Protein backbone atom coordinates (compact mmCIF):
# COMPACT_ATOMS: atom_id res chain seq x y z
CA UNK A 1 0.00 0.00 0.00
CA UNK A 2 1.17 3.51 -0.79
CA UNK A 3 0.83 6.24 1.84
CA UNK A 4 0.12 9.80 0.75
CA UNK A 5 -2.08 12.85 1.03
CA UNK A 6 -4.51 12.90 -1.90
CA UNK A 7 -8.02 14.29 -2.39
CA UNK A 8 -11.04 12.49 -3.81
CA UNK A 9 -11.96 13.98 -7.19
CA UNK A 10 -15.68 13.42 -6.47
CA UNK A 11 -16.26 14.64 -2.90
CA UNK A 12 -12.94 16.29 -2.03
CA UNK A 13 -12.42 13.92 0.91
CA UNK A 14 -8.97 12.91 2.10
CA UNK A 15 -7.31 9.75 0.76
CA UNK A 16 -4.27 8.58 2.74
CA UNK A 17 -3.68 5.07 1.41
CA UNK A 18 -3.92 3.51 -2.05
CA UNK A 19 -3.04 0.06 -3.45
CA UNK A 20 -1.09 1.78 -6.27
CA UNK A 21 1.15 4.82 -6.78
CA UNK A 22 -1.02 7.41 -8.59
CA UNK A 23 0.49 9.48 -11.40
CA UNK A 24 -1.82 12.40 -10.60
CA UNK A 25 -4.82 13.23 -8.42
CA UNK A 26 -7.24 13.49 -11.32
CA UNK A 27 -9.72 10.64 -11.26
CA UNK A 28 -8.87 9.41 -7.74
CA UNK A 29 -11.92 8.50 -5.68
CA UNK A 30 -12.33 7.56 -2.02
CA UNK A 31 -13.88 4.21 -1.03
CA UNK A 32 -17.31 5.75 -0.53
CA UNK A 33 -17.43 7.48 -3.93
CA UNK A 34 -15.96 4.40 -5.62
CA UNK A 35 -18.66 2.20 -4.07
CA UNK A 36 -21.37 4.68 -5.11
CA UNK A 37 -20.13 4.83 -8.71
CA UNK A 38 -19.83 1.06 -8.83
CA UNK A 39 -23.37 0.63 -7.50
CA UNK A 40 -24.65 3.16 -10.07
CA UNK A 41 -22.86 1.26 -12.86
CA UNK A 42 -24.39 -2.01 -11.67
CA UNK A 43 -27.85 -0.45 -11.43
CA UNK A 44 -27.55 0.63 -15.04
CA UNK A 45 -26.40 -2.84 -16.07
CA UNK A 46 -29.33 -4.42 -14.21
CA UNK A 47 -31.71 -2.32 -16.30
CA UNK A 48 -30.09 -3.49 -19.54
CA UNK A 49 -29.14 -7.08 -18.67
CA UNK A 50 -31.71 -7.97 -16.04
CA UNK A 51 -29.09 -9.54 -13.74
CA UNK A 52 -28.36 -8.43 -10.20
CA UNK A 53 -24.85 -8.32 -8.73
CA UNK A 54 -24.21 -10.21 -5.50
CA UNK A 55 -23.36 -8.23 -2.33
CA UNK A 56 -19.72 -9.38 -2.57
CA UNK A 57 -19.44 -7.82 -6.01
CA UNK A 58 -20.85 -4.50 -4.79
CA UNK A 59 -18.56 -3.96 -1.82
CA UNK A 60 -15.10 -2.47 -1.95
CA UNK A 61 -12.64 -4.60 0.03
CA UNK A 62 -11.22 -3.00 3.19
CA UNK A 63 -7.84 -4.65 2.83
CA UNK A 64 -6.07 -5.42 -0.40
CA UNK A 65 -2.93 -7.49 -0.10
CA UNK A 66 -0.21 -7.23 -2.69
CA UNK A 67 3.03 -9.09 -3.04
CA UNK A 68 5.86 -7.54 -1.06
CA UNK A 69 7.80 -7.10 -4.28
CA UNK A 70 5.26 -4.57 -5.57
CA UNK A 71 5.78 -2.26 -2.61
CA UNK A 72 9.56 -2.29 -2.88
CA UNK A 73 11.65 -0.06 -5.07
CA UNK A 74 11.77 -1.37 -8.64
CA UNK A 75 15.02 -2.88 -9.83
CA UNK A 76 16.12 -1.89 -13.32
CA UNK A 77 17.86 -5.13 -14.32
CA UNK A 78 16.35 -5.54 -17.76
CA UNK A 79 19.66 -5.78 -19.61
CA UNK A 80 19.05 -2.48 -21.41
CA UNK A 81 21.48 -0.37 -19.35
CA UNK A 82 18.67 1.35 -17.47
CA UNK A 83 19.59 2.98 -14.18
CA UNK A 84 17.77 2.21 -10.91
CA UNK A 85 14.85 4.53 -10.20
CA UNK A 86 12.76 5.56 -7.23
CA UNK A 87 9.05 4.88 -7.03
CA UNK A 88 7.21 7.36 -9.26
CA UNK A 89 10.17 8.07 -11.57
CA UNK A 90 10.68 6.72 -15.07
CA UNK A 91 13.80 4.65 -15.72
CA UNK A 92 16.62 6.40 -17.57
CA UNK A 93 18.57 4.63 -20.30
CA UNK A 94 22.24 5.51 -20.61
CA UNK A 95 23.89 5.55 -24.02
CA UNK A 96 25.94 7.52 -26.52
CA UNK A 97 23.60 9.07 -29.08
CA UNK A 98 23.78 12.16 -31.29
CA UNK A 99 21.04 14.78 -31.78
CA UNK A 100 19.78 14.69 -35.38
CA UNK A 101 19.24 18.49 -35.39
CA UNK A 102 22.25 20.12 -33.68
CA UNK A 103 24.65 17.17 -33.51
CA UNK A 104 24.96 17.46 -29.73
CA UNK A 105 25.66 14.48 -27.49
CA UNK A 106 22.78 12.68 -25.77
CA UNK A 107 23.84 10.45 -22.87
CA UNK A 108 20.56 9.70 -21.06
CA UNK A 109 16.98 9.17 -22.26
CA UNK A 110 13.70 8.23 -20.52
CA UNK A 111 13.17 5.57 -23.21
CA UNK A 112 15.23 3.20 -25.29
CA UNK A 113 15.13 4.53 -28.87
CA UNK A 114 14.19 2.10 -31.65
CA UNK A 115 15.90 4.28 -34.22
CA UNK A 116 18.29 7.23 -33.91
CA UNK A 117 17.31 8.80 -37.25
CA UNK A 118 15.12 11.51 -35.67
CA UNK A 119 16.51 11.56 -32.11
CA UNK A 120 16.61 15.07 -30.58
CA UNK A 121 18.32 16.52 -27.51
CA UNK A 122 16.02 18.15 -24.95
CA UNK A 123 16.69 21.68 -26.28
CA UNK A 124 15.92 20.77 -29.92
CA UNK A 125 12.89 18.76 -28.79
CA UNK A 126 11.49 21.77 -26.89
CA UNK A 127 12.11 24.08 -29.88
CA UNK A 128 10.31 21.67 -32.22
CA UNK A 129 7.24 21.69 -29.92
CA UNK A 130 6.86 25.48 -29.92
Choice between 72 and 125, residue whose per-residue pLDDT is larger: 125
Residue 36 Cα distances to 71, 111, 123, angstroms: 28, 39, 47
pLDDT at position 102 over 90 = yes
Q: What is the pLDDT of residues 12-68, one digit of tens each?
A: 888 888 888 888 778 888 888 888 888 876 665 545 545 454 444 444 455 544 444
Q: Which helix (H) or strand (E) holds 44?
A: helix 31-49
- At 4 the pLDDT is 86
Residue 59's contacts (CB-CB under 8 Å, 6 or more residues apart) are 35
The predicted model scores a pTM of 0.34
Parallel, antiparallel or unpaired: strands 93-98 and 14-18 = unpaired
Amino acid sequence: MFQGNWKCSSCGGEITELPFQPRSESGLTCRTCYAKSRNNDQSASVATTGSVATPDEQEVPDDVSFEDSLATEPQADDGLNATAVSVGEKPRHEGDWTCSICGGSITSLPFLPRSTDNLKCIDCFKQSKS
